[in-house]
Homo-oligomer: A and B are copies of this chain.
C-alpha cells in the first residue's frame, strides 16, 4: 500500500509549511464533503467494482491480442493520457511498440504512422466520451475511408469506446455493428482511465487490469472512509497551501517509467480546479497549476528555480522502493573528487539518495514538499495512484466550493474554431 510522508511540511516555517494541527483541524469536513460528492452521483469510484466490464474487456483482448501487428488508439485528453501513462509505466522502454496512441491531428503524425503500419494488420481503437470530438472523428474518418477502399471489414478493424447512448460514434456503432465499449455516462473523460478507455488498451498490451483495479479499490475504500483518508489529507494540504501562495504543484516521480503519470495528473488537476465560477455563480477564478517533473533528470533542469526562485510551489514527490532492477556502480576512478563518494553505491541507492538530497534542500530552503512512496511501478501501484489523485481532486472541488467535474471554459475556443471554419 502506498504511504504518505508529510514530515517536511511541519519542518519548515509556518509561513510556508503546515503543522499537523493545521491539517487535522479540517478533518470534521470529511463526512460533509463525502456526502456532497456522493450527491453528485459520480461513477469514477464505483468502477473498481465493475467485474462485468473487466471480464468483457479481458475476453475481447484475449481474442484479439495476437491477431494484429499494430494497435492504434485515436483519442485526445482524457481519452489518451491514462493509456500513455500505463504504456510508459508498465511496458518495456526500448522494445518496439505494437500500440501507438495518436493524440494530435498534426498531419505528419498520421503520415508517418502510415509509414509503419499495414491497414489489414491493424486494429484501431477510437475513443471519445462525447462521441463527437472533432479531432478524433477526423482521424477516424481518414483511416476508415482508407480501410473501406481496401475492402476491410470495419467490424474487424475498429473498436469504439464512447458514451452508452449518446453521440455520433454511438450512432455509427449501432448502424454498423462495430464492437463498442462504454464509458459510463457519469464518468468524465479525465476520470475515465479505469473504464475501457484505459482498460482495453492495457489489456491489449498484456497488462494485468484486475491488479490495476485492485490497487484502485484499496484507495477507493480509504476515500470513502471517515477516519484514515489519504485523499482528504492531500486535498486539505493542497487547499491550505494555496492560501499560503502555492498556486503551482510540482508532481515529481523519481522513476523513469512514471514520467507520463505527471501528464495524466496535469489534466486532472488543471481541468478540475481551474474554474471561473463557484457553485453559487460567484467569480472566483480558482486554479492550481500542475507542473510535470521527473527525478533525477529534472534536478539538472528545474532544481535551480525550485530552490532559489519565488516560494510559490508545492512539491509532491513519488518514491519507488523497487525499480525492478538494480546494479552496482563500479567506481573506476575512486580517488577522483568528482565521484569519490560513489563507494558501494548501486543505481537504486543513488536514485533514492538523490531524491532525499533534493527533498532536504527544498526543506532547508523553506519549500513545502511531501512524498508518496509506492512499492514498485506495478499495475497495483498505478491503480492506487490514479484513484488517490482522483479522490483528492473530488475533495478539492468541495474545498473550493466548485464543480470539479465540468469544463465550461473549453467551449469558447471550440466555438471560435467552428466559426472560423464555417466562415472560411
Contact = CB atoms under 8 A, between A and B. Distances in A.
A353 interface: yes
A67 interface: no
Interface range on chain A (Cβ under 8 Å from partner): 35 or more
Given A76-B300, A107-B323, 8 more contacts: A105-B354, A107-B327, A107-B346, A133-B300, A142-B329, A267-B300, A307-B413, A341-B418
Interface of A: 76-78, 80-81, 92-96, 100, 103-113, 115-116, 130-135, 137-138, 141-142, 144-145, 167-168, 171-172, 189, 247-248, 254-257, 263, 266-267, 270-271, 273-276, 285-289, 291-292, 294, 296-297, 299-313, 323-327, 329-333, 336-339, 341-343, 345-351, 353-354, 356-358, 360-362, 364-365, 377, 407-410, 412-418, 420-422, 424
B108 A324 contact: yes
A339 B309 contact: no
Contacts of A329: 138, 141-142
A256 B101 CA distance: 13
A43 B112 CA distance: 38
Interface centre among A108, A168, A356, A365 (most CB of B within 10 A): A108
A404 to B, nearest CB: 11
A418 B112 CA distance: 46
Total copies of the chain: 2
Nearest to A189: B300
B285 A309 contact: yes
Contacts of A412: 307, 361, 364-365
